[in-house]
Structure 1
Amino acid sequence: MSLLAPSLARYPSLRGRGVLITGGATGIGATLVEQFAAQGARVGFIDIDAAAGAAWADTLAATAEVPPLFVAADLTDIAALDAAVNRVRDHVGPITVLLNNAANDKRHSIETTTAESWDAGIAVNLKHQFFAAKAVCPDMRAAGGGSIVNFGSISWKLKQGGMPAYTTSKAAVQGLTRSLARDFGPFNIRVNTLVPGWVMTDKQLRLWVDEASREEIARGQCINQPLLATHIASMALFLAADDSAMCTAQDFVVDGGWT
């Protein structure tokens, strides 16, 4: 496990803060859990992958000042999501940082998309972001403010095909962010979209990244280096901390200059 690199920023305002991360068992989400815990935050994370989530929580418990709490739940089941948020709240206290990271970029063609699979794609990639924000808003209002970071994607900006429910959802995330920023702004709750490029997680490398993909990335990115989950986490830390106090309703793109 990598600890917070000495050269990277530390944010005193995150120490002791209650943080909820969705989809935190693997990939970008697992790095978010690790990096927020390294800042001294009180972290709870939710994921449908019970085995991976429990294993990651056990790993981090060995070094984290405050061991993160893992709650297994299907975020597309809103009642289960609400129950999971309550469990996290009981463990970390008031939740004043929400990272809506969970998503599934499963490839699917137009021909094979059904009404049911479309609804399932919207549920996992968009719907839960709204309901998670709704669930934590009372905590943030009572605390005098908070930060919500909704995770988008550059895929729809690149006009990427082969997964219409996913790209539609990720485009809609930015609209959701701007509407929530207006509604929550009077309570000093900031809402922003973190828009990653093609992050080289284990899943992406295993399922999607081949030589043709690497060539596409090299052509697209201005910086021809692998985009890693740690790069995304660094932006998430800034957006969650008080250092970004007047940043809201914005898109923060971390893609090596592709878009």
Structure 2
Amino acid sequence: MMPSARFPDLQDASVLITGGGSGIGAALVEGFALQGAKVAFIDIADAPSKALCVRVGEQAGASPLFLNADLRDIEALRACVVRAAEAHGPVTVLVNNAALDDRHAVEDVTVDYWDNNQSINLRPHFFTAQAVAPGMKRAGRGSIINFTSTSFMINHPDMPSYTTAKAGIVGLTKGLAGELGPHGIRVNAVAPGWVVTERQRALWVTEEALAAHVSRQCIRQVMQPHDMVGPCLFLASDASRMLTAQTLIVDAGFL
């Protein structure tokens, strides 16, 4: 369920979301569009992204702008930022959401695997922020929201490269906050717990594992992608104007 709160300052805001074609990203595209924002999103998957544009357009009255790109290609990523700004004005809200949480054993990781994993899970966060920063500086304001994860906080054993990237995102968030804060740009991180997306259900969710996880949450309900929308709307809006360099854990109280 989408949050009921309205944030008037997000009306007509130029918002860019990475990995917006499915899962949490798709919920964010929908949530910002329903606030009246001008939403662009980057994704590598063509068909589901186009279907999302149709569905969100019907709900919100305006379709988001789908930008097809592989985030490992930094020049393509930079071109997407330019296209988003041309369509909607300089990006003033960036949500770095894209990630790939494939499981991998320590003994199986090669140099190429490691580099490719980091090029999806960490490197784009920096270069997308770098690309939007000049426009935010000219506007005198901006909000960058980086998705990290609680996986590195709970010592998740099955994806060491991924958890390394997610820990790095917290450091990146704090460093960027210090650099960009004097220009009125806030940088924060969101750390979800186990959000049950279609991908999670297809690959890793079992009834027993999910029940065990939820039993350790203070709020004993399964977290859904839409549960990440409200925290991001808050961090994007001027309701959080003095909040920066922080990591907001959204895990139903698991930690």
TM-score greater than 0.5 by the shorter chain: yes
2:218 aligned partner, one-letter code = C
**Coordinate RMSD, CA, aligned:** 1.1
Out of 127, 139, 142, the residue aligned to residue 143 of structure 1 is 139
* 1:45–1:68 CA contact under 8 A, matched in 2: yes
Alpha-carbon deviation of 1:105?
Answer: 0.3
SS in 2 for 1:62: helix
Out of 188, 191, 196, the residue aligned to residue 192 of structure 1 is 188
Counting only pairs closer than 5 Å after superposition, residues 33-44 of structure 1 correspond to structure 2 as: 33-44=29-40
Task: Note the residue ranges of structure 1 that are not aligned, 5 or more in a row.
Answer: none
Deviations 1:200-225 (A, max 9, x none): 11111111111332133134312111
Name the residue aligned to 2:55: 59
2:79 aligned partner, one-letter code = A
Alignment partners' CA distance in 2, 1:85 and 1:152: 21
1:138 aligned partner, one-letter code = P
> Structure 1 segments of 4 or more deviating over 4 A?
none
Alignment partners' CA distance in 1, 2:171 and 2:26: 26
Deviations 1:158-194 (A, max 9, x none): 0001111100000110000000000000101000001
Counting only pairs closer than 5 Å after superposition, residues 150-161 of structure 1 correspond to structure 2 as: 150-161=146-157
Name the residue aligned to 2:199: 203
Task: Note the residue ranges of structure 2 that are not aligned, 5 or more in a row.
Answer: none
Alignment partners' CA distance in 1, 2:179 and 2:166: 20
* 2:214–2:222 CA contact under 8 A, matched in 1: no
Alpha-carbon deviation of 1:59?
Answer: 1.8
Name the residue aligned to 1:24: 20
Matched, 1:255 2:251: yes
Counting only pairs closer than 5 Å after superposition, residues 172-191 of structure 1 correspond to structure 2 as: 172-191=168-187
Alignment partners' CA distance in 2, 1:72 and 1:112: 31
* 1:193–1:250 CA contact under 8 A, matched in 2: yes
* 1:41–1:66 CA contact under 8 A, matched in 2: no
Deviations 1:67-114 (A, max 9, x none): 210011000110110111111111111100000000000011111110
Alignment partners' CA distance in 1, 2:169 and 2:244: 14
* 2:84–2:90 CA contact under 8 A, matched in 1: no
TM-score (norm 1): 0.96
Alignment partners' CA distance in 2, 1:223 and 1:101: 24
Name the residue aligned to 1:230: 226
Out of 65, 72, 75, the residue aligned to residue 76 of structure 1 is 72
1:38 aligned partner, one-letter code = L
Matched, 1:103 2:99: yes
Name the residue aligned to 1:10: 6
